[in-house]
Amino acid sequence: MADVTLRKVTKRYDDVEAVRGIDLDIADHEFVVLVGPSGCGKSTTLRMIAGLEDITGGDIMIGGDVVNDVPPKDRDIAMVFQNYALYPHMTVAENMSFGLRLKHYPKAEIKSRVTEAARMLDITDLIDRKPKQLSGGQRQRVAMGRAIVRNPKVFLFDEPLSNLDAKLRVQMRIEIKKVHQKVRTTTVYVTHDQVEAMTLADRVVVMNHGRIEQIGTPNELYHHPATRFVAGFIGSPAMNFIPCRLEEAGGKLNIRLTDRIAFPLPPARAARYQNIARSEKLLLGLRPEHIAEAKMHPEPGVEAFDAVLDVTEPMGMETLIYFTLEGAQICGRVNPNAGARDGGPLRLVVDLNNMHLLNEGTGAVL
Amino acid sequence: MTSTVIIDKAAPTRTVKYGSMSRGRIWALRWSYFFLTLFAIFSLVPPLYMLITSLKTSAEISAATNPWWVFHPTLSNYVGLLTSNQFLTFFRNSAFVSIFVVTITMLISVPAAFALARMRFWGSATLATGVFLTYLIPDSLLFIPLFKMFAVFGDWTGIQLINRWYVLLLVYPTLTVPFCTWIMIGYFASIPKELDEAAIIDGASWFQTLTRIFIPVAMPGIIAATIFAFTVSWAQFLYPLVFTTSTDQLVLPVGIITSLIKGDVFNWGQIMTGALLGAAPPLIIYAFLMDYYIAGLTAGATKG
């Protein structure tokens, strides 16, 4: 087991810079998820850690040793691929033991490790089957088993759940978390699914355009995003962004959304945003759960307004509502009994205690 | 039976029209069968004629009777050939040459294809195309310079290659290696990249990746390439005709025509018998490996 460190790592393909100087410290036993849209450089970063891609610049360290020029087999890592990459001509047991057999481990040791891993992953009954006789979920378990038996310093997962259906994905997500709780191996996990990232990670690394946008725990990223990209990428449905500006009204600071809608800021927020120029073009960032139906006794900082709904989506435990404000489509979450209906009016409240204010030009959260 | 559920298997009353086959599809199938039958007849008539002729005596062959019927069947042609030392020598030479050529071809083309398909190195793509272009040069163009080369080589070193059956072991691979390498490049390219990456991370060297992963996975392709190499070397006519002349060095196709055609006398019965017996080994190999051969030919075509 070991920590993984990336120092100013870059990757360039001819004239495309896929990874543009990444600094990342992954602690021993930590589960880190690299997340971002396709083409953001997350897979390339993982493959550089694995040694499957050369690095153009910078240093990669595993367990304190620089491994820039160390071949993959000597890095003591194990990797799980999106398409499983099981050896089709070998049985499950042979697939799992292949790495150990290449290193000439004693037969008894191989057998006990494979048995142990198979038990942990609940695939003991499948041990003599060929990959083609397995379902997608079972294949993914075997691929994980192949990684576990090696007992490596680092696990690398490259979008391992993308080929599974939604239900199985949730189940395997829990399996992966359980396995990590048992073996505690340092893990780097790549996905484009922010839900996977949030549920699995100790820390999430959000990447975009070959750079790291933000590193933090799932809660930090959700509640304190640093940029518009992170704010919009993490959370589903995504955060609403409403063009707005600040204005002074009777010695108090207001946030004006439209000609007709302006809200007074709660005192804590007013103090924080006091120094922002009043002419600055801003965005109000509000998560859907902070736009709800009006209640009888509003709390401080919760302001009401009327909206005409475009569409409603009943989800059972809640209803998602969509309406338009200054040309922007806004999503809110209301109680199923709030009386929301397509095309109907509804009195809504925004919880400004949980608002984010962003600079429209730079995308930075203020 | 206590079950109350009645399953009436004769329930559908409309006439069954082979599932949902449309008229267009039915006609397409009829045309396919028509042309397939035509082609089957076309390609089966010569071997049938060979079989009929091989069962006739020379007298009956030259007699003006119905050539498609045997009136006095005899096995004398078969007995004659199979007891002739000469014919058995041709057969043995052919077998030796083919087996060695197949071995040499596979030992060269499988590792070559692996290197060209997977080990990205400078110029590998150009080299792969070059290998294929080599195959496009016809043997009728190559045999003169090759003959000259062997003659000069013999003059310089004193090692005589011409008129020895083993010279064919050097010559045939010029035909088989490029094509087999090309087949195997296609086949290896269809194996997902992650498979060798997984093997590399598992600690396999390039050589182990080839022997423990690629060769077993690509077995259908390798068998297809083997069959091709065997067929080419077994049926090769021009090269052995040019490079070997003594009767004890000849392979079957050349041996049959040189020993059974004496001047303008054609021993048709034995020629047909020899050709039929010579066609047997490839036929047997095809029959056993047919499924593999088809899998091998189609696997490279569609990725996935």
Q: Which helix H or strand E contains B209, and what residues bound it?
A: none
Question: Same domain for B141 and B229?
Answer: yes
Question: Same domain for B35 and B94?
Answer: no
| Count of structural domains, chain B | 2
Can you give the pLDDT at residue A83?
87
Question: Same domain for B107 and B31?
Answer: no
B206 part of contact set with chain A, CB < 8 Å: no
In CATH, the number for domain A4-226 is: 3.40.50.300
Name the band, by pLDDT with cuts 50, 70 and 90, for residue B257. Answer: confident
Question: Same domain for B181 and B36?
Answer: no
| Dist CA A216 CA A34 (whole Å) | 11
Please tell me chain B's helix, strand, coil percentages from 3-state DSSP, rounded to the nearest 5: 70, 0, 25
Question: Same domain for B143 and B230?
Answer: yes
Last residue of a domain, one of B62, B88, B108: B62
Question: Same domain for B172 and B290?
Answer: yes
- B97-131 pLDDT, tens digit per residue, is 999 999 999 999 999 999 999 888 888 889 888 88
Question: Same domain for B55 and B126?
Answer: no
Can you give the pLDDT at residue A2?
86
CB–CB of A50 and B201 under 8 A? yes
Residues of chain A with pLDDT under 50: none
Name the band, by pLDDT with cuts 50, 70 and 90, for residue B300. Answer: very low
Q: Is residue B18 part of a domain?
A: no
CB–CB of B200 and A78 under 8 A? no
CB–CB of A85 and B213 under 8 A? no
Can you give the pLDDT at residue B220?
83
Question: Same domain for B153 and B204?
Answer: yes
Same fold: A4-226 with A240-359: no
Q: Is residue B1 part of a domain?
A: no
Whether residue B222 is predicted with pLDDT greater than 70 in this model: the reply is yes
Can you give the pLDDT at residue A1?
58
- Nearest chain A residue to B198 by CA: give it: A85
Mean predicted lDDT score pLDDT of chain B: 84
**Candidates B195, B200, B213; nearest CB to A73:** B200
Whether residue B303 is predicted with pLDDT greater than 50 in this model: the reply is no
Write down the domain spans for chain A: 4-226, 240-359
Question: Same domain for B141 and B31?
Answer: no
**Candidates A81, A85, A103; nearest CB to B203:** A103
Can you give the pLDDT at residue B20?
59
Question: Same domain for B194 and B248?
Answer: yes
- B169-197 pLDDT, tens digit per residue, is 989 998 899 989 998 998 898 888 889 89
Q: Is residue B304 part of a domain?
A: no
The model carries a pTM of: 0.80
Q: Is residue B141 part of a domain?
A: yes
What SS3 string covers chain A?
CCCEEEEEEEEEECCEEEEEEEEEEECCCCEEEEECCCCCCHHHHHHHHHCCCCCCEEEEEECCEECCCCCHHHCCEEEECCCCCCCCCCCHHHHHHHHHHHCCCCHHHHHHHHHHHHHHHCCHHHCCCCHHHCCHHHHHHHHHHHHHHCCCCEEEEECCCCCCCHHHHHHHHHHHHHHHHHHCCEEEEEECCHHHHHHHCCEEEEEECCEEEEEECHHHHHHCCCEHHHHHHCCCCCCEEEEEEEEEECCEEEEECCCCCEEECCHHHHHHHCCCCCCCCEEEEECHHHEEECCCCCCCCEEEEEEEEEEEEECCCCEEEEEEECCEEEEEEECCCCCCCCCCEEEEEEEHHHCEEEECCCCEEC
- Cβ-based contacts of A88 with chain B (< 8 Å): 217
* B186: CATH: 1.10.3720.10
Range(s) of the domain holding residue B31: 24-62
- The alpha-carbon gap from A159 to the nearest alpha carbon of chain B, in Å, equals 13
**Probe site for chain B from A47, A53, A81 (most B CB atoms < 10 A):** A81
Whether residue B302 is predicted with pLDDT greater than 50 in this model: the reply is no
Q: Per CATH, the architecture of A240-359 is what?
A: Beta Barrel (2.40)
Half-sphere exposure of B250 (CA within 13 A, CB side): 20
Question: Same domain for B116 and B153?
Answer: yes
| Dist CA A345 CA A348 (whole Å) | 9
Q: Is residue B15 part of a domain?
A: no
- A118-133 pLDDT, tens digit per residue, is 998 889 999 999 888 8
Strands A345-351 and A291-293: antiparallel
